[in-house]
Amino acid sequence: MPQAFIFDLDGVITDTAELHYQAWKRLADSLEITIDRDFNEKLKGIGRMESLEKILALAPDQQNLSQELKDALATKKNDHYVDLLKMINEEDILPGIKALLMRIRKEGIHVGLASASKNAKYVLSELGLIDQFDYIVDAAQVSKGKPDPETFTRAADYFGVDYNQCIGIEDAPSGVLAVNGAGMFSVAVGSAEALGHAHYRVDQTSQLDFDTIIEAYSVE
Ligand code: G6P
Ligand code: MG
């Protein structure tokens, strides 16, 4: 049996990826930069400042901005995002997640969160899930974001368990790299095209079944 399940938040627990996209789009529009949902795939699992840099890189006239201005733009995006977050509630938990969390806890296995978002705790509270997590690692606690393994290893270190006894669940290519880099068993939610490097993969969260995951983990 694994000792810990460590979950990514955005795109695994709830579909905030769409809200991040809407907030970035609003900011990009104001700068006359065009982004679409395809481009947004590249921002999944990537920190706020790094995402801003990727967007600004699309516009030749937005190079060499001062750090102060970049900070202001990132804050503006976050204000849009936090506005959108006010609308989420328990009904926005992705299918199958609540049942999976309950089963893991029933088995006495640690449950951790490893998120690149500084809004992670707020999102979990809005979803009514904060009590389901024994430990939460967010962007504020790590020096290197995903794909570096630190976000995941921090949670495992807190629990005092070996990395190869942990299962990390992710929806982003950079997140799967972080889980694999930590020496953990990676479970991915999403397309085979983007997430072929995961140890085990499903298309949707509703297919995340505890026993099937344990079986895959055991044969690895
Ligand atoms: C997650 C999301 C990213 C987001 C990042 C930072 O990894 O997948 O799209 O940019 O968190 O989120 P934050 O809420 O701190 O801006
Ligand atoms: Mg994610």
| pTM as predicted | 0.93
Q: Which atom of ligand 1 is nearest to the CA of 78?
A: 16
Question: Is the ipTM here above 0.90?
Answer: yes
CB burial of residue 28 (10 Å; 0-12, 13-18, 19+): buried
**pLDDT greater than 90 at residue 64:** no
How do residues 75-106 score in pLDDT, each as one tens digit?
999 999 999 999 999 999 999 999 999 999 99
Asked whether 85 lines ligand 1 (CB < 6 A), one says: no
Active site (catalytic) residues: 8, 10
Q: How confident is the model at residue 131 (pLDDT cuts 50, 70, 90)?
A: very high
The pLDDT assigned to 62 comes to: 81
Mean pLDDT, rounded, of the chain: 96
Evaluate whether 18 touches 125 at the Cβ level (below 8 Å). no
Give the 3-state DSSP-derived string for 182-193, with helices as H, strands as E and coil as C.
CCCEEEEECCHH
Residue nearest to atom 7 of ligand 1 (CA): 45
Q: Is the CB of 80 under 6 A from ligand 1?
A: no
Confidence at residue 12, expressed as pLDDT on a 0 to 100 scale: 97
Whether residue 17 is predicted with pLDDT greater than 90 in this model: the reply is no
